[in-house]
Amino acid sequence: MQLPQRVQLIDVGPRDGLQNEKQPINAATKIELVQRLQDAGVTEIEVTSFVSPKWVPQMADNAEVMAGIARKPGVRYSVLTPNLQGFEAAAKTRPDEIVVFGAASEAFSQRNINCSIAESIERFRPVVQAALAAGVAVRGAISCTVGCPYEGEIAPERVELVARLMREIGVQRVDIADTIGVGTPRKVQRALEAALKHYDMACVSGHFHDTYGMALANTLAALELGVWNFQSSVAGLGGCPYAKGATGNVATEDVVYLLQGMGIETGIDLDKLIDAGKFISDALGRKPHSRVANALLTKRLG
Ligand code: HMG
Ligand code: MG
């Protein structure tokens, strides 16, 4: 079995992670988190989202956060934009990439973005066109590709359909998300294979939440298919406000430890990453949700 030699990680902690936190976190803390992630060698960071502040109050400081980060050459900063209104606000903050986000489940699409899958594609179409015309890259996130909190198990054909529709409107790469973390390795592979019918390997990434503790196993299963792009969240921050019971994304620290141990290059300094996770966990008043971070923080105490 030939595993990829290098993996590209997108840390989604500042967005997917913090969006779910009830306690307000100030923009300065979010900016410092981004700073610490890039200092640790993370080269793709999902910074914030330009969604309705009534729906997700924690992301209301999106423009302030984007304006406050000291950009590092070679780092790609992405933001979520559900519609043209979001894109227009986002464009002023000069993201490198925008993310349109749909779902393989009708019920989740309704709950999350207040429209059907077909309507969401029509909403994304002008966003994608505007972004590409402005020279901004476009990623598409597909939620609930294995299971849905409302519809239960999701067939790979549903994933294939949304991947095809995203491809048709010009989305350049897609994230296959196990939003509620119910996936197991073979099921996750089937969801990824469905997307791979419409996208090249370099354009398909795994986005796994660790609710059932399966995210690292699923990451390995994705690597076995040849997938080498993944999203994870420092300190395992996160969840989804519209997916009850969904816990955080797989912790970036855990993924980096797994990859390093297998000799797969990430370009990330694990110690600095752990410091970044400790920083945001301290701000939230809790321990990191990362086995690796907690093990190595304990070891540091000697
Ligand atoms: P809507 O209510 O259907 O939108 O919301 P609307 O067009 O009817 O507008 C209603 C109001 O929202 C208006 O304000 C608009 O101005 C405002 P009002 O006149 O009532 O004062 N509005 C906006 N404000 C700011 N930015 C915007 C925007 N658009 C409309 N872009 C909408 C539709 C999509 C906006 C709404 O449903 C929403 O914001 N949803 C939040 C979705 C979200 O952020 N979910 C979490 C991220 S997705 C995720 O976590 C999954 C992922 O990680 C992958 C995975 O794990 O599965 C990506
Ligand atoms: Mg997510």
pLDDT tens per residue, range 190-214: 999 999 999 999 999 999 999 999 9
CATH number at residue 67: 3.20.20.70
Question: Contact at 8 Å (CB) between 137 and 96?
Answer: yes
Does residue 85 have its Cβ closer than 6 Å to ligand 1?
yes
Query: How far away, in angstroms, is 302 Cα from ligand 2 center?
Result: 35
Instruction: Answer whether 0.95 is exceeded by the pTM.
Output: yes
Let me know if residue 2 belongs to a domain.
no
Question: How many domains does one find in the chain?
Answer: 1
Query: How close is the Cα of 52 to the center of ligand 1, in Å?
Result: 4
pLDDT of residue 147: 97
The rounded distance, in Å, linking the Cα atoms of 295 and 287 is 11
Instruction: Determine the pLDDT at residue 76.
Output: 98
- Closest-approaching ligand to the CA atom of 103: 1
Question: What integer pLDDT is reported at residue 247 of this predicted model?
Answer: 79
Residue 295 domain-assigned?
A: yes
Q: Which pLDDT value is given to residue 238?
A: 85
Q: Which positions of the chain have pLDDT values less than 50?
A: none
Residue 118 belongs to a domain:
yes
Write the DSSP string, 200-236: -GGGEEEEEB-TTS-HHHHHHHHHHHT--EEEEBGGG
Query: For position 240, what pLDDT does the model report?
Result: 62
Which residues form the domain of 49? 8-301
Cβ < 5 A residues, ion ligand 2? 16
Alpha helices in the chain (DSSP H): 27-39, 62-68, 84-91, 106-113, 117-133, 156-168, 185-196, 215-225, 252-261, 270-284, 291-300
Q: What is the pLDDT of residue 2?
A: 87
Nearest CA to ligand 1 atom 24: 52
| pLDDT tens-digit readout, 77-120 | 999 999 999 999 999 999 999 999 999 999 999 999 999 999 99
Distance, CA 234 to ligand 2 centroid (Å)? Answer: 13
CB-facing half-sphere around the CA of 55: CA atoms within 13 A? 12
* Domain annotation covers residue 193: yes
Q: Which ligand is nearest to the CA of 232?
A: 2
3-state DSSP of 86-117: HHHHHHCCCCCEEEEEEECCHHHHHHHHCCCH
Ligand 1 proximity of 86 Cβ (cutoff 6 Å): yes
Asked if the structure places residue 21 within a domain, the reply is yes
For ligand 1, whether the C-beta of 246 sits within 6 Å is: no
- Does residue 1 lie within any of the structural domains? no
Closest CA to 236 of 221, 215, 263, 265: 215
Ligand 2 center to residue 112 CA distance, Å?
Answer: 12
241 in a structural domain:
yes
Residue 274 lies in a domain: yes
Residue nearest to atom 8 of ligand 1 (CA): 114
**Ligand 1 close to Cβ of residue 52 (< 6 A):** yes
* CA 170–ligand 1 middle distance (angstroms): 21
Q: How far is CA 207 from the centre of its chain?
A: 6
Q: Are the beta carbons of 262 and 272 closer than 8 angstroms?
A: no
CA angle (2 as vertex; 212, 191 as ends), nearest 5: 40
* Ligand 1 atom having least distance to the Cα of 113: 37
Question: Atom 34, ligand 1: which residue's CA is nearest?
Answer: 113
Task: Tell me, yes or no, if 240 is annotated catalytic.
Answer: yes
pLDDT score for 245: 65
